[in-house]
Amino acid sequence: MDYQKPCRRILDPKDMPMWLRSPAYHEIVSFAEQLSSSVAGKPVSAQYDISENVHSICKMLDQAEAWIAQNPPDTTASSRFGNQSFRKWQTELEQQVPQLLHDLLPTSSHNAIVELAPYLTESFGNATRIDYGSGHELSFLVWLLCLCKIGHFAPSDSPALVLVVFQRYLALCQQLQRTYMLEPAGSHGVWGLDDYQFLPFYFGSAQFIGASVPPSESISPTLVEAKSDEYLYLQGIRFVMEMKRGPFFEHSRQLYDISGVPKWEKVNQGLGKMYKAEVLGKFPVVQHLQFGTLFAISSEIS
């Protein structure tokens, strides 16, 4: 395959129909659904294959987290959000990504780095706006999809991609948000699912399918404290509780309402539909997506 540097193609709201019928859209929807299904009923400590390629990505993310200590937040900053030291961390990422991917991938896949690098670089936030949102999370999902398409992961790796790789990614993103107080990109405030993430709740709701814990207990501080290491959903709730003040039903109305749904199957189905509508279906989120040969917006280059 002739790989190419990806570029933006969704430049105007009028481009949304092209995106919604594109190969890329249908692939990312199927990929998210497949990952969700793969962790149904599985806590993090469940039995599943963890390949060396999975371990290698976690080591790479460990390395990226180490750069936070090398670029501490600017303590003279007066604004609540957007510590400018994040730009130094992001510059380090941009400089290191080609070598990180060179070390991660076999020689036979090195020609794909030109296409893979932008998705990884865009996965942790925007250095100009010093913000992070579901579009950056989507970029990481696209990166994982592209790695699957070049054969770096097998279908049997799906549970580990969620419960090991994505969990490690989530922990790094939360540390970046906590350290540099990244602005929530496109936040809907109290009416949004979460200021930063979506997928931990989608994947995490699948983990709870068949468990004895009902959705009503998902916002219980006691359960969050006891089980957040096992369930991505609770890791998301824990971070919300850490970062926000006041009654939960006031600052996180959507998550509070979800706790009133009787079954996790319904929660998971609803969040899958919501992801398509509120993330993949919204121009402000997907306008920054880039497309090449692996993630193609037209069938001519797919």
Residue 302's pLDDT band (cuts 50, 70, 90) = very low
pLDDT tens for each residue of 217-241 = 999 999 999 999 999 999 999 999 9
Phi, psi of 7 (to 5 degrees): -140, 160
Cα(302)–Cα(295) distance, integer angstroms: 7
Could you tell me if 286 and 185 are in contact, meaning their C-beta atoms sit under 8 angstroms apart?
no
Percent of all residues in the chain with a pLDDT value above 90, rounded to a whole number: 87
In the chain, the percentage of residues whose pLDDT exceeds 70 is 96
pTM of the model: 0.96
**The predicted structure's pLDDT at residue 192:** 62
What is the chain written as a DSSP string?
------EE---SGGGHHHHHTSHHHHHHHHHHHHHHHHTTT--TTS-----HHHHHHHHHHHHHHHHHHHS---TT--SSS--THHHHHHHHHHHHHHHHHHHHS-GGGGGGHHHHHHHHHTTS-BTTTTEE-HHHHHHHHHHHHHHHHTTSS-GGGHHHIIIIIIHHHHHHHHHHHHHH-PEETT--GGGSS-SS-SHHHHHHHHHTTT-S--GGGTT-HHHHHHHTTT-HHHHHHHHHHHH--S-HHHH-HHHHHHTTSS-HHHHHHHHHHHHIIIIIT-HHHHTT-EE-SSS-SSGGG-
Mean predicted lDDT score pLDDT of the chain: 94
- Average confidence (pLDDT) over 278-297: 95
Closest to 140 measured CA to CA, from 188, 182, 172: 172
Report whether 222 contacts 207 (CB < 8 A).
Answer: no
Q: What is the pLDDT of residues 237-254, one digit of tens each?
A: 999 999 888 888 888 899
- At 145, the amino acid letter reads L
For residue 190, is pLDDT > 90? no
